């Protein structure tokens, strides 16, 4: 290890653009296979469709909470706007949850 590498910490090569370490990072495509082909697959909680459903449900709950707060505060214009947003968010959430259940 030279002084230059100690200062810069350059295990990444000269053109570090968010790439992996050239000594320790592994090649593109290396690593465990996705899904059930991975031996550590236990359940579907962290699969793509499941995470999408979780994000949609969380977004719907946040919008519904804002809508209820605006309703309690008596802000009619904001309440009407958030009501339509809440309905759309709930639809997206239910659609992703139904899509998730159809895949099982």
78: part of which helix (H) or strand (E)?
helix 76-103
The better pLDDT of the pair 21, 50 is held by 50
Q: Is residue 25 part of a domain?
A: no
Evaluate whether residue 97 is within a structural domain. yes
Whether pLDDT at 1 is above 60: no
Over 80: is that where the pLDDT of 22 sits?
no
Structure confidence at residue 4 (pLDDT):
53
What span, in angstroms and rounded, lies between the C-alpha atoms of 79 and 85? Answer: 10
Residue 38 lies in a domain: no
Q: Specify whether the CB–CB gap between 9 and 22 falls below 8 A.
A: no
What is the per-residue pLDDT for 27?
A: 73
Q: Give the angle 14-7-5 at the CA atoms, nearest 5°.
A: 50
- Give the chain's domain count: 1
pLDDT at 9 over 70: no
Instruction: Taking the CA atoms of 3, 28, 34 and 39 in sequence, report the sign of the dihedral they define.
Output: negative
* Per-residue pLDDT at 48: 82
What's the whole-number average pLDDT of the chain? Answer: 77
Examine the pLDDT at 100 and tell me if it is beyond 60.
yes
Domain that holds residue 72: 44-104
């Amino acid at each position: 290890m030279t002084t230059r590498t100690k200062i810069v910490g350059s295990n990444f090569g000269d053109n570090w653009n968010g790439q992996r370490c050239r000594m320790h990072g592994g090649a593109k495509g290396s690593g465990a296979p996705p899904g059930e082909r991975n031996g550590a697959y236990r359940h579907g909680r962290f699969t793509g469709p499941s995470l999408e459903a979780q994000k949609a449900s969380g977004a719907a709950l946040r919008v519904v909470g804002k809508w209820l707060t605006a309703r309690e505060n008596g802000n009619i214009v904001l309440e009407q706007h958030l009501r339509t947003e809440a309905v759309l968010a709930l639809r997206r959430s239910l659609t992703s949850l139904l899509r998730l259940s159809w895949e099982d």
